[in-house]
Structure 1
């Protein structure tokens, strides 16, 4: 069975690769408060309110393990427009394949700088693991990271166009002219202006 633990990575979810039932292993994972707080720090966001995964781990091509299912999270980031907290619901399909190190199914290491190995049977090469357990935690963290909105903002807030090259003949002041009006009065007086 799986055993989530808090360690160097915010999320650790171990699967005993050698003891998988023939029909696959159902895994229900819910991050605890400490794991969610550590993940929020790791992702540099305000909060991870919820993180759940419903997964199935099953044998793949004899010696490999396929882990697939769904990942749900509620994340809170700072709006890039207003700097207010913005909530995001994440509901992603999750699928990763693992093979033991040294397996014939492992990705072929590139021997030269200009060599590329293409496996036509697989879109994504399998990940490798060492020992009797697979830690799925880092892959869950990666899925959450990739699902983050790169420009979070409230749904009713839009970026406004800013003219960075105003026409001086039209009487429009440049951004630098506007900034000079923000200088405190004492500073101007001290310079003798």
Structure 2
């Protein structure tokens, strides 16, 4: 059953390019309580109280799609310094472009198994994501932006890590330190005999 849950997306909002008029379209996404709980589980968070995205969609280069906007979330995280839970707000911009993949019958200058010469390899950071079947799951897109925006080492405001002194470290490292707590003290301990 856990595998079925892992395969299900936390937030899904299918969106087709055909829904976008020439002047563009405003899209608001608000997660339900169940979707917020799924986002929390997916990101190993104690809670996601609310999640929303305000987006603007417009056509890009004729058969592509461009999305801009921001996500806002209220969530609970675990502080890495104190291990206490704390609530915080997250605001993250969203920018993404989508284009249909090139057709399979597009002319190729070389055979598939031959890689391009090293001099021709370029990395394009602005390459659009694939627009499969003329649609994209905007819920999955904003969920990904949310996950990438999370601080991997969240700290509760005002929390500071206090490094133990060398004496504390030596005492904690001793295997007899835990036993010394159990040893009775005082006149009834039998030490006077």
TM-score by length of 2: 0.75
Judged with a 3 Å threshold, the aligned counterparts in structure 2 of structure 1 residues 41 and 110 are, in CA distance, closer, same or farther, namely farther
Q: Mapping of 1:13-162 within 5 angstroms?
A: 13-102=13-102, 112=115, 115=118, 116-119=121-124, 123-162=125-164
| Whole-angstrom distance in 2 between the partners of 1:58 and 1:110 | 37
Structure (1 or 2) with the greater helix fraction: 2
Query: Which of the pair has more CA radius of gyration?
Result: 2
| Whole-angstrom distance in 2 between the partners of 1:16 and 1:91 | 26
| Whole-angstrom distance in 2 between the partners of 1:77 and 1:118 | 35
Q: Give, in angstroms, the shift of residue 162 of structure 1.
A: 3.7
- For the residue of structure 1 that corresponds to 2:13, the secondary structure is strand
Q: Which has the higher contact order (CA 8 A, sep 6+)?
A: 2
2:178 to 169, 177, 182: 182
CA contact (8 A) 1:10 1:38 kept: yes
Structure 1 segments, 4+ long, off by >6 Å, are none
Q: RMSD of aligned C-alpha atoms?
A: 2.8
Q: Give, in angstroms, the shift of residue 146 of structure 1.
A: 1.5
Q: Give, in angstroms, the shift of residue 182 of structure 1.
A: 1.2
